[in-house]
Amino acid sequence: MPVDRPNANLRPLSLHVPEPKFRPGDTVDFSDLAVPPAGAAPRPASDAAPDSFRDLAYGLVRVLGEDNRAVGAWDPKLSPDRLRAMLRAMALTRAFDERMYRAQRQGKTSFYMKSTGEEAVAVAAAFALLPDDMCFPSYRQQGLLIARDWSLVDMMNQIYSNRADRLHGKQLPIMYSVREKSFFSISGNLATQYPQAVGWAMASAARGDTRIAATWCGEGSTAEGDFHSACTFASVYRAPVILNVVNNQWAISSFSGFAGAEATTFAARAVGYGIAGLRIDGNDALAVYAATEWAAERARTNQGPTLIEHFTYRAEGHSTSDDPSQYRSAHEAAEWPLGDPIKRLKDHLIALGEWDEERQAAMDLELAETVKAAAREAEKNGVLGHGLHQPLETMFEEVFEDMPWHLAEQRQEMLDEAKAAGLEIGR
Amino acid sequence: MNMIQAINSAMEVMMARDPAVVVLGEDVGYFGGVFRATAGLQKKFGKTRVFDTPITECGIIGVAIGMGAYGLRPVPEIQFADYIYPALDQLASEAARLRYRSAGEFTAPITIRSPFGGGIFGGQTHSQSPEGIFTHVSGIKTVIPSNPYDAKGLLIAAIEDNDPTLFFEPKRIYNGPFDGHYDHPVQPWAKHDGSEVPEEYYRIPLGTAKVVRAGEAVTILAYGTMIHVVSGVVAASGVDAEIIDLRTLIPLDIDTITASVEKTGRCMIVHEATRTSGFGAELAAQVQERCFHSLEAPIERVTGYDTPYPHSLEWAYFPGPVRIGEALKKILKD
């Protein structure tokens, strides 16, 4: 394209389009990934000024070292019982994921999303929060519900959209809602829960409550405008909220560079908003616990919000509709330098002399049985497409508190058509 | 009271009655709102119940939804309806669906107030009437008052309602009714029946239209500023028209509409919003389906044109007395 104007002799501009280091078939080498040693990061007082977090926002808080020992100021010093409970919830989350992934492949449901490799992010956070702290999760924090001892059968009923599904088959599988466990209704629209969590926290503060809110999104979703508005509101009103960014390196097929990771960290976003920012090893359950506990204390003492970047790796496909071998090297998960969160916590307990491989194997077996039994129970209520769904007319309920005439009319039309066609019409 | 005072009074009444009611938005706090609708509320109820927000509409609505989930009853303001679009995702994907997707576990009992409509030389971004975008979203109610009395009663009902409700305030008639004769001096509300507003609590149920003028010749469906424009045309023409102020678009008072059209046999729809896929199209379809055998003439729609709202050509765009008068002649001809 010839350019006829002054300064046309300047070197042409070029557009930078990020590219991940490894594509399918590439040998993976993470040796240039900066992984600071465990225990090196300082732990500020929970009322430290937001502008003092620059190094923590660019660093990486780690507690569990190569020797599987907990070290440094961030060691939450949990009892062996607590550690074993956390390990169990993480392993149960993985067992649940395995079973439900298989259920989708068997055609029992339309869709599923695993959280493999990210179990610590949700489970350890749940352990560090109080049970009535309000969680605004994304779709990959099923570990929160499992850590809060929610019914696996209920979760499966939702996944199967069966007649016992409390959400009446209205929602895509895994978009849980469990008010009883302070677990907010999941939406398919990314990052929308971020300002909602901030609003919930502002309401709690405005009413002089003691509860705090926590929310989660992936690193990809930080690019959404709602992330910005949430951080602005959280900072302006010093909302008692924990803003978690789960940086698992991948947003479906887009690597984290498309959310800005080539230029900075996600925790560093906090610096610009005047929010305390921590960047932590998301595969280190103790680091997740410690950071969440710290942020919760900060929030609960009116010191305001904290943004925590959980540096982790999405070990499997984005969803059952995704095939990661089409866009990334199959070796990435195995080569990931921060390892597997369950194995690391297990090895820590073993190093403490509080656990062993036999007990782990027995627990894994028991958890697989627990999940299997729950699945059998849930399947009695039906699986997707096998007839045991909710009555047809429930489709029109809960659009509004009271059904307006136009919905009542459409419901009747549908029932009349179903009857004319000889279909079973439910109630 | 004028319409601003009535709206202010509705919020004051509800904030005094229910500690869960909170008001938030750009400039609504200390300053009392760019249209003065929230004047005095922060002083009376304090900063944690009436507060200014950053300029981020998606944030304002997102935060209000979270406050609603906590148990509050937020009344967020969007400064102009033209600026509601950044919040469209939070409104359409979240507020509207929260009850449905959680099967009633969580709800969004929020009332979004927003000045809307043209006739003020507001140009493209201070004149829009986006109601049709929201009536298309299931799960949201839409309310548009046409006078101070209705504004207060409807706003109180909207705040008490447990569903997310959009409350569009025709800013052209904040200070007085407007018959579309832009070259005439503005009439203050004081001379209009609707300006007698009780200081205390009262409510007008959502989903109830009001027959502004009973008549036999033609049914005119309108809302907001257009009620006054239509009333002026009808009075001047001597046509025995029945004018219905819809007041709420969702839920729609279909019975009042059908009873009227079955009586008159003719139906004209007037709104400022652009025509294609506007709310008038839904009204025309409903009337056609329900009153087909009563209709003696095609349904007429007098609306804004399918263009962005212009500045200098405002009075050519605005569905004013001339266009409404011509349409009235046309529909009565057959």
Using the predicted structure, report yes or no on whether residue A52 has a pLDDT greater than 80.
yes
Of B22, B89, B100, the CB nearest to A398: B100
DSSP one-letter code for B70: H
Of A171, A206, A233, the CB nearest to B101: A171
Alpha carbon of residue B285 to chain centroid: 21
CA separation for the pair A311, A309 (Å, rounded) = 6
Handedness of CA A66, A67, A72, A75 (dihedral sign): positive
A381: nearest Cα among A165, A101, A143, A150: A165
The stretch A324-346 carries a mean pLDDT of: 96
Does B256 lie at the interface with A, CB-CB under 8 angstroms? no
Q: Is A25 exposed, middle or buried (0-12, 13-18, 19+ CB in 10 A)?
A: exposed
Give A148's contacts (C-beta < 8 A, 6+ positions apart).
A126, A131, A181, A182, A183
Of B71, B103, B161, the CB nearest to A167: B103
Question: Which residue of chain B is at minimal alpha-carbon distance from A203?
Answer: B67
Confidence of residue A326 (pLDDT cuts 50, 70, 90): very high
The stretch B131-137 carries a mean pLDDT of: 98
Residue for token pair 């409104």: B91
| pLDDT tens-digit readout, A164-205 | 999 999 999 999 999 999 999 999 999 999 999 999 999 999
| Cα–Cα separations (whole angstroms), residue B288 to A257, A407, B28, B144, B259 | 55, 19, 43, 24, 13
Interchain contact, B54 vs A226, CB within 8 Å: no
Cβ(A137)–Cβ(A188) under 8 Å? no
pLDDT for A8 equals: 78
DSSP one-letter code for A70: B
B3: nearest Cα among B206, B169, B157: B169
Question: Which residue of chain B is at minimal alpha-carbon distance from A228?
Answer: B59
B75: nearest Cα among B150, B12, B148: B12
The stretch B267-276 carries a mean pLDDT of: 98
Instruction: Determine if the peptide bond prior to B19 is cis (ω within 30°).
Output: no
Q: Which token pair is A18?
A: 């990020």
Q: Which residue has the higher pLDDT, A392 or A405?
A: A405
Q: Which token pair is B221?
A: 């469906």
ipTM, two decimals, is 0.97
CA separation for the pair A167, A162 (Å, rounded) = 9
Q: What is the CATH number of domain A50-318+329-379?
A: 3.40.50.970
Confidence of residue A390 (pLDDT cuts 50, 70, 90): confident
pLDDT for A11 equals: 93
Side chain identity, residue A313? Y
Side chain identity, residue A223? A
- Expressed in angstroms, the distance from the first to the final Cα of chain A is 69
pTM over 0.95: yes
Using the predicted structure, report yes or no on whether residue A249 has a pLDDT greater than 80.
yes
CA separation for the pair A214, A349 (Å, rounded) = 28
Q: Which token pair is A279?
A: 């960047």
Handedness of CA A117, A184, A187, A367 (dihedral sign): positive
Of A134, A233, A405, the CB nearest to B63: A233
| pLDDT tens-digit readout, A3-24 | 577 787 899 999 999 999 999 9
Confidence of residue A427 (pLDDT cuts 50, 70, 90): low
pLDDT for A425 equals: 63
| pLDDT tens-digit readout, B283-316 | 999 999 999 999 999 999 999 999 999 999 999 9
pLDDT for A301 equals: 98
Give B241's contacts (C-beta < 8 A, 6+ positions apart).
B213, B215, B217, B218, B219, B220, B230, B234, B264, B268, B328
Give B43's contacts (C-beta < 8 A, 6+ positions apart).
none
Left (φ > 0), alpha (ψ -120 to 50) or beta: where does A246 sit?
beta
Distance from CA of A117 to the nearest CA of B (A): 28
| pLDDT tens-digit readout, B138-168 | 999 999 999 999 999 999 999 999 999 999 9
| pLDDT tens-digit readout, A103-149 | 999 999 999 999 999 999 999 999 999 999 999 999 999 999 999 99
CA separation for the pair A272, B14 (Å, rounded) = 38
Q: Which token pair is B129?
A: 């009437």
The stretch A79-106 carries a mean pLDDT of: 98
pLDDT for A426 equals: 59
Does B54 lie at the interface with A, CB-CB under 8 angstroms? yes
Q: Which token pair is B210?
A: 């009001």
The stretch A356-371 carries a mean pLDDT of: 98
The stretch B28-40 carries a mean pLDDT of: 97
CA separation for the pair B308, B318 (Å, rounded) = 12
pLDDT for B181 equals: 96
pLDDT for A7 equals: 80
Partners of residue B86 in chain A, C-beta under 8 Å: 225
Partners of residue A178 in chain B, C-beta under 8 Å: 105
The stretch A270-285 carries a mean pLDDT of: 98
In the stretch 268-327 of chain B, residues with CB closer than 8 A to chain A read: none
Strand partners, B271: B303
User: Of A388-392, B121-125, B173-177, which range is least confident?
Assistant: A388-392
Burial A330-345 (b: 16+ CB within 10 A, else e): eebbeebebbbbbebb
pLDDT for A386 equals: 76
Percent of chain B topping pLDDT 90: 98
On average, the pLDDT of chain A sits at: 96
| pLDDT tens-digit readout, B232-262 | 999 999 999 999 999 999 999 999 999 999 9
CA separation for the pair A178, B102 (Å, rounded) = 8
The stretch B80-97 carries a mean pLDDT of: 98
| Cα–Cα separations (whole angstroms), residue A209 to A102, A299, B53, B98 | 43, 12, 21, 24
Interchain contact, A201 vs B138, CB within 8 Å: no
Q: Which residue has the higher pLDDT, B198 or A418?
A: B198
CA separation for the pair A140, A112 (Å, rounded) = 10
Confidence of residue B135 (pLDDT cuts 50, 70, 90): very high
Domain ranges of chain A: 50-318+329-379, 394-427
pLDDT for A2 equals: 58
Distance from CA of B292 to the nearest CA of A (A): 18
| Cα–Cα separations (whole angstroms), residue B9 to A291, B105, B201 | 47, 32, 9
CA separation for the pair B157, B186 (Å, rounded) = 30
Does B158 lie at the interface with A, CB-CB under 8 angstroms? no
B311 is catalytic: no
Strand partners, A306: A242, A276
pLDDT for B186 equals: 86
DSSP one-letter code for B73: E
Confidence of residue A1 (pLDDT cuts 50, 70, 90): low
pLDDT for A391 equals: 87
Kindly write down the DSSP assignment for every residue of A176-190, as one continuous string: --BGGGTBPPP-SST
